[in-house]
Amino acid sequence: MAGLASTLGAGAMTNSIREIEDVPVIFVIGSNTTESHPVISYSMKRAVKKGSRLIVADPRKIDLTRWAARHFQHRVGSDIALLNAVMYEIIRNEWHDRAFIDDHTEGFEYLKETVSKYTPEYASGICGLSADEIRELASILGTADKVGLYYTLGITEHTTGTDNVRTCANLQMLLGHIGIENAGVNPLRGQNNVQGACDMGVLPDVFTGYQKTSDPGTREKFEKVWGVEKLPGTEGAKIPAMFDGINHGDIKALYLIGENVVMSEPNQAHTVKSLENVEFLIVQDIFMNETAEYADVILPAACYAEIEGTFTNTERRVQRVRRAVTPPGMARDDWWITGEIAKRMGFIMEYNSSEQIWNEIRSLSPSMAGITYARIEQQGIQWPCPDTDHTGTCYLYCDNVFPCGKARFQPAEWKPAAEVPDEEYPFVLTTGRRLWHYHTGTQTRRSAGFIDIFPEELIEVNPEDAQKLNINNGEYITAVSRRGKVTVKSWVTSRVMPGVCFMTFHFSEACANVLTNNAFDPVTGTAEYKACAIRLEKSNSASEPEKQRVHRENK
Ligand SMILES: Nc1nc2c(c(=O)[nH]1)N[C@H]1C(S)=C(S)[C@@H](COP(=O)(O)OP(=O)(O)OC[C@H]3O[C@@H](n4cnc5c(=O)[nH]c(N)nc54)[C@H](O)[C@@H]3O)O[C@H]1N2
Ligand SMILES: Nc1nc2c(c(=O)[nH]1)N[C@H]1C(S)=C(S)[C@@H](COP(=O)(O)OP(=O)(O)OC[C@H]3O[C@@H](n4cnc5c(=O)[nH]c(N)nc54)[C@H](O)[C@@H]3O)O[C@H]1N2
Ligand SMILES: [Mo]
């Protein structure tokens, strides 16, 4: 197989949510689960009440650590060093699952060789945990009956994101904790339907159901149903390549459907330059946003409560969505707008309903073939579901049948982040979310309740650092990176360790993405949102900064 990690990197939980409650050890690495995945965090808390040991590895003292038996607070960007050392210890103590490795994997010798230099002492110098702490983590994971591993963006949003994911997969393969109930490798998917979007082929190299565009047989199948000739077999561009293409004059138009890139892409100045350079920009959104300011055309879309269709959740469950309210004004379903544009460009893309589109998708995608609207009327079904008699799949790789035969270890060497602190920019900035807000705030900043609870951006600064810089809790300070600066209120807190700061991208007045680095993982194109270098300056004005770029009525 192309490697277990690449299947997992396509991003699907191998286990189901209900399986969380019955695993002896839950290992959460790089996921702020209580704030970003509150529903799943309830399953983890219930598991702890039933006797599971929750182990958290995160550079921040996130709320989940309150339920954890152990919190390993390692440095930002050091996951590969930490996990390689854990695997070194597991192999040294012979805690690895020889039978599973012999029968179902390949490349174990290569893994063993790669991790051989990651002694706990060596890794300690990189990740900041003591060698004993690393041995303790290895012993907890290595001697457990089953470990369920859960990760999110703390693992993926690095220039080494793919290698980080592979390393998580290597660990679970080494322990034989894959292809069985409860244990596995589980990326918690972020948006309500990001799993569905990927399943629908909203990636540069696949059709629906992860069928490769490079495969001539697959292309022929789609060409027949769509009545077209010669669908391209080449890969489309990922976001960094799109912006580069615009800036080099190769890409003339950009069509954004539900992406507020000015706020959500790294290095805002670079994003804005790209939007200014593109000849034609279409923004299709449910609200006016920062990105739409640059648009030539704005197309109003209907939102989740105004449409019929399906969303696929993090455990691969395809669920029905029903229209609860009528869309306002000229807002239309996203699929309808796209179809109309296709029509005006000369291709008849005539669909009458979401169900009709879904039936075409399932006729072309074996993994979803058995999921009909009638069958998910009451409860969703988890793909793979190959036919209408199949009840769906709770956990993947059951009986150790992997997509292309054996699971391959893909060991990786630790590499530092693209930008690390130095004298001029001595702090690591890592970024993410708060419970009370959603991404670029277009939705949550319209809710009075959320604004009351969490009205503005806060930068987390460790008390030791604050004392050295004479920063008081609640004081407005300036955070500066090589790409820009923002004025932001400080939150002096030991949630972050010394040398680390944390911000979100929820507030346009002080958006972390003014500061973040647009270096990206070469395989996925995902940016290094989780690590850049900044410095903190006392702000000249002691008062609240003037609000910039607030386009919202906040009703
Ligand atoms: N309330 C709320 N919930 C959301 C969202 C939202 O905007 N608001 N967005 C949704 C979306 S799309 C997504 S993708 C998910 C994201 O879900 P998460 O990834 O859980 O959310 P983040 O806040 O990005 O948290 C990442 C975690 O990684 C840690 N971290 C930072 N650097 C490192 C590192 O180098 N190594 C490790 N191991 N950990 C590190 C951070 O301290 C943090 O705890 O959340 C989803 N849920
Ligand atoms: N610094 C930093 N930046 C990050 C991240 C991070 O951790 N740190 N995380 C990244 C991640 S994981 C994600 S997922 C992105 C999110 O980045 P975005 O997707 O750009 O953020 P959203 O605020 O969710 O913006 C989505 C837009 O879609 C609109 N919208 C909502 N529903 C619909 C709909 O049904 N139809 C249409 N047409 N529009 C709709 C909203 O109004 C909004 O303008 O941010 C990324 N950026
Ligand atoms: Mo996301």
Q: What is the pLDDT of residues 226-247, one digit of tens each?
A: 999 999 999 999 999 999 999 9
| Ligand 1 binding pocket includes 152 (Cβ within 6 Å) | yes
Name the residue with the closest Cα to ligand 2, atom 32. 303
Residues 184 and 285 in one domain: no
**pLDDT category of residue 4 using cuts at 50, 70 and 90:** very low
Q: How far is the CA of 61 from the centre of ligand 1 (A)?
A: 13
Residue 430: CB partners within 8 Å, gap ≥ 6?
A: 59, 60, 76, 500, 501, 502, 530, 531
Does the pLDDT at position 547 exceed 60?
no
Residues 316 and 221 in one domain: yes
Identify the CATH number of the domain in which residue 292 sits: 3.40.50.740
Nearest-atom index, ligand 2, CA of 304: 35
Residues 158 and 42 in one domain: yes
Identify the CATH number of the domain in which residue 119 sits: 3.40.228.10
Residues 499 and 450 in one domain: yes
549 in Cβ contact with 484 (< 8 Å): no
pLDDT in tens, 150-208: 999 999 999 999 999 999 999 999 999 988 888 899 999 989 999 999 999 999 999 99
Q: How far is the CA of 190 from the centre of ligand 3 (A)?
A: 5
Q: How far is the CA of 192 from the centre of ligand 3 (A)?
A: 10
Domain boundary at 142, 164, 188, which?
188
| Ligand 1 binding pocket includes 128 (Cβ within 6 Å) | no
Does the pLDDT at position 533 exceed 90?
yes
Residues 178 and 233 in one domain: no
- Ligand in nearest proximity to the CA of 82: 1
Q: How far is the CA of 526 from the centre of ligand 1 (A)?
A: 14
Average pLDDT over residues 210-227: 96
Q: What are the structure tokens assigned to 510, written together?
A: 């002080």
- Ligand in nearest proximity to the CA of 83: 1
Query: Which amino acids bring their CB within 6 angstroms of ligand 2?
Result: 153, 157, 190-191, 257-261, 264, 284-287, 289, 301, 303-304, 334, 431-432, 439-440, 442, 505, 512-513, 516, 529
Q: How far is the CA of 324 from the centre of ligand 1 (A)?
A: 30
Q: Distance of CA 91 to CAs 27, 161, 175, 407, 411, Å?
A: 19, 24, 10, 18, 14
Residues 34 and 181 in one domain: yes
Let me know if residue 403 belongs to a domain: no
Residues 153 and 202 in one domain: no
pLDDT given for residue 5 in this prediction: 37
| Ligand 1 binding pocket includes 59 (Cβ within 6 Å) | yes
Widest CA span of the chain, in angstroms?
68
Pairing of strands 147-151, 532-538: unpaired
Let me know if residue 39 belongs to a domain: yes
Domain boundary at 332, 362, 388, which?
388
Domain of 476 in residue numbering reads as 427-552
Identify the CATH number of the domain in which residue 517 sits: 2.40.40.20
- Ligand in nearest proximity to the CA of 501: 1
For residue 86, the SS3 value is helix
Does the pLDDT at position 326 exceed 70?
yes
Residues 78 and 181 in one domain: yes
Does the pLDDT at position 3 exceed 60?
no
Residues 129 and 275 in one domain: no
Domain boundary at 325, 357, 388, which?
388
Residues 145 and 224 in one domain: no
pLDDT in tens, 477-515: 999 999 999 999 999 999 999 999 999 999 999 999 999
**pLDDT category of residue 12 using cuts at 50, 70 and 90:** confident
Neighbours of 433 (CB within 10 A): 17
Let me know if residue 236 belongs to a domain: yes
Q: How far is CA 386 from the centre of its chain?
A: 27
Name the residue with the closest Cα to ligand 1, atom 24. 432
Could you tell me the pTM of the whole model?
A: 0.94
Let me know if residue 66 belongs to a domain: yes
Residues 236 and 383 in one domain: yes
Let me know if residue 420 belongs to a domain: no
Does the pLDDT at position 9 exceed 50?
no
Domain count, the chain: 3
Q: How far is the CA of 36 from the centre of ligand 1 (A)?
A: 6
pLDDT in tens, 106-141: 999 999 999 999 999 999 999 999 999 999 999 999
pLDDT given for residue 14 in this prediction: 83
**pLDDT category of residue 545 using cuts at 50, 70 and 90:** low
Q: Please report, rounded to a whole number, the percentage of residues in the chain having pLDDT higher than 90.
A: 88
Q: How far is the CA of 333 from the centre of ligand 3 (A)?
A: 22
Nearest-atom index, ligand 1, CA of 152: 19
Nearest-atom index, ligand 1, CA of 434: 1
Nearest-atom index, ligand 1, CA of 506: 7
Which of 55, 153, 265, 440 should be mutated for ligand 1, with most atoms under 8 A from CB?
153
Bridge partners for 151 per DSSP? 29, 187
Average pLDDT over residues 284-308: 97
Let me know if residue 329 belongs to a domain: yes
| Ligand 1 binding pocket includes 495 (Cβ within 6 Å) | no
Average pLDDT over residues 258-278: 98
Let me know if residue 78 belongs to a domain: yes
Name the residue with the closest Cα to ligand 2, atom 45. 264
Bridge partners for 485 per DSSP? 480
Q: How far is the CA of 303 from the centre of ligand 3 (A)?
A: 18
Residues 179 and 198 in one domain: no
Name the residue with the closest Cα to ligand 1, atom 43. 32
DSSP letters spanning 127-192: H-S-HHHHHHHHHHHHT-S-EEEEE-HHHHSSTTHHHHHHHHHHHHHHTT-SSSSS-EEEEPP-ST
What sign results for the dihedral spanned by CA atoms 316, 317, 320, 321?
A: negative
**pLDDT category of residue 552 using cuts at 50, 70 and 90:** very low
Nearest-atom index, ligand 2, CA of 191: 14
Does the pLDDT at position 467 exceed 60?
yes
pLDDT given for residue 403 in this prediction: 63
Let me know if residue 133 belongs to a domain: yes
